[in-house]
Chain A
């Protein structure tokens, strides 16, 4: 494994982290905006949730191949489906989080003279944090995993060495195990970072 670290595994790992970061960040921005919108306009929540679920049902390989003629062998081709998939997790979690503020807390907030914007930023969003971070944890882990398949397009990410190994007449298992192990390790590491963030941001529970 050490022999392949510098020339294969490390660059692939960095690519994998990049793909995940871009996809989850974009997914979060979209989900957050849509959640804020549906927090104000309740009727659009179900249609958006349904749309997110529909996107999720598209097989990733099919999505990559459909986008390939449009965006070519590029990060864009990979990131669009990954972003879309993250919505199905992020959007409902943020919506549920915004709804987590107890009724009496909201009433007290209004009764003390907070404007609706202040209720959102000072009460609803902080109280939504546990659900938002919970959603991010699942979204990151699942994106790390699905990003492996992105190697079909230009061999980017940790899926690259795995697909290469599979094409050998007698597949050499080391690549599969080392790259696969790194995917798992990366997912765990990301999760740990988010758990840490949760611990330091949310001190009021218990």
Chain B
């Protein structure tokens, strides 16, 4: 499989026999190639169901799912899956295989030569931040975070255009989780794959997603847009409640003061105004203003030179 990995859900529906209501109801999503798309929502929203339909671990009743214009039903399931990376929460690492053998699984299924497999394993361990020596270890000897790194390396092994991730960081402690979130974002910029990432955590969705699809009970799509647009204009009361009353602050957290049009420093800046770095989020800058009782902050570049000021009234304008 090659191509950019555009994924289209076209009115996909599913009901489970003997169960009330839909698992998924007429889900339509257009996920452009290279997008990091997060499926988020309460349990019973069908987000994992939707994810597993892409690699056909779960079947659908009607509609279609296409990757680069080709229906996932066209290929034999086994062949389809070898072209799609798959990461799950419990890692699903093979306990009886070393880290290296785990990562080599799909390349070997595809019949790669030994030397190529070895080189790829080494490259991937590097990419996900593991040491070469880890290749000889067994999954039982890894920490939760390391296990999930191996899971990611294994999923990326054959360089698939599409990566499916089912609550990959759900079982990790908050610190490890945050670190892996940041690294996955960085990785995504490097490898340019279409990612579908399932989580029930709206914070994670906002941090990770280029686009967020919010699913609600009964497998209905509540809203599908960029994090900023969803926070600015929630589609209905359900979305509003799901993203929380602090959505204005969440929006500010998405932007860095360095990306905002700053005012020029005119005259002297009041000495009580806090100094912040360009990489500070607007949310944290606001917090400093409120905390220090000042009407603005002084933004300082990496070299220590003042870049400009961000005033309280500008922050309000950002939210308009």
A and B form one complex: yes
Binding site for B on A (CB under 8 A): 102, 104-105, 107-115, 118, 122-123, 126-127, 129, 202-206
- Residue pair A204, B96 in contact (C-beta under 8 Å): yes
- Residue pair B81, A115 in contact (C-beta under 8 Å): no
- Residue pair A104, B138 in contact (C-beta under 8 Å): no
Check A111/B78 contact, CB under 8 A, given A102-B90, A104-B88, A204-B138: no
> Nearest chain A CB to B65's CB is how many angstroms away?
15
Binding site for A on B (CB under 8 A): 52, 55, 57, 77-83, 86, 88-97, 105-106, 109, 138-141, 151, 154-155, 164
- Residue pair A115, B97 in contact (C-beta under 8 Å): no
- Residue pair B93, A112 in contact (C-beta under 8 Å): no
- Residue pair B90, A113 in contact (C-beta under 8 Å): no
- Residue pair A112, B109 in contact (C-beta under 8 Å): yes
Q: Please, how many angstroms separate the alpha-carbon atoms of A114 and B89 in the complex?
A: 19
A114 CB contacts on chain B under 8 angstroms: 78, 105, 109
A-B contact pairs, 27 of them (CB 8 A): A102-B95, A104-B88, A104-B91, A105-B93, A105-B95, A107-B57, A108-B86, A108-B91, A108-B92, A109-B94, A111-B57, A112-B86, A112-B154, A112-B155, A113-B80, A113-B81, A113-B83, A113-B106, A114-B78, A114-B105, A114-B109, A115-B78, A118-B109, A126-B96, A127-B95, A204-B95, A204-B140
B77 CB contacts on chain A under 8 angstroms: 113
> How many pairs of A and B residues are in contact by the CB < 8 Å rule?
75
> Nearest chain B CB to A204's CB is how many angstroms away?
4
Q: Please, how many angstroms separate the alpha-carbon atoms of A105 and B79 in the complex?
A: 19
Q: Please, how many angstroms separate the alpha-carbon atoms of A7 and B138 in the complex?
A: 52
> Nearest chain B CB to A88's CB is how many angstroms away?
27
A105 CB contacts on chain B under 8 angstroms: 92-95
- Residue pair A113, B79 in contact (C-beta under 8 Å): yes
B155 CB contacts on chain A under 8 angstroms: 112
Q: Among A104, A113, A203, point to the contact of B92 (Cβ < 8 A).
A: A104
> Nearest chain A CB to B191's CB is how many angstroms away?
18
A203 CB contacts on chain B under 8 angstroms: 138
> Nearest chain B CB to A124's CB is how many angstroms away?
10
Check A123/B140 contact, CB under 8 A, given A108-B88, A110-B81, A111-B88: no
Q: Among A104, A118, A205, point to the contact of B140 (Cβ < 8 A).
A: A205
Main secondary structure of the interface of A (DSSP, over half): helix
Q: Please, how many angstroms separate the alpha-carbon atoms of A33 and B94 in the complex?
A: 24
> Nearest chain A CB to B55's CB is how many angstroms away?
6
> Nearest chain A CB to B64's CB is how many angstroms away?
20
- Residue pair A113, B140 in contact (C-beta under 8 Å): no
Q: Which chain A residue lies CB-closest to B138?
A: A204
A122 CB contacts on chain B under 8 angstroms: 94
> Nearest chain B CB to A97's CB is how many angstroms away?
12
Q: Among B89, B90, B92, point to the contact of A109 (Cβ < 8 A).
A: B92
Q: Among B97, B109, B138, point to the contact of A113 (Cβ < 8 A).
A: B109
B96 CB contacts on chain A under 8 angstroms: 123, 126-127, 129, 202, 204
B109 CB contacts on chain A under 8 angstroms: 112-114, 118
- Residue pair B82, A112 in contact (C-beta under 8 Å): yes
Q: Which chain B residue lies CB-closest to A107?
A: B92
Q: Among A102, A111, A202, A205, point to the contact of B81 (Cβ < 8 A).
A: A111
A118 CB contacts on chain B under 8 angstroms: 109
B95 CB contacts on chain A under 8 angstroms: 102, 105, 127, 204-205
Q: Please, how many angstroms separate the alpha-carbon atoms of A154 and B151 in the complex?
A: 61
Q: Please, how many angstroms separate the alpha-carbon atoms of A8 and B96 in the complex?
A: 46
A204 CB contacts on chain B under 8 angstroms: 95-97, 138-140
Q: Nearest 3 A-B pairs (CB), nearest first?
A: A108-B92, A113-B81, A113-B82
Q: Please, how many angstroms separate the alpha-carbon atoms of A199 and B299 in the complex?
A: 63
Most chain B CB atoms below 10 A, which of A107, A108, A123, A127: A108
- Residue pair B81, A112 in contact (C-beta under 8 Å): yes
Q: Please, how many angstroms separate the alpha-carbon atoms of A123 and B105 in the complex?
A: 11
Q: Please, how many angstroms separate the alpha-carbon atoms of A110 and B82 in the complex?
A: 10
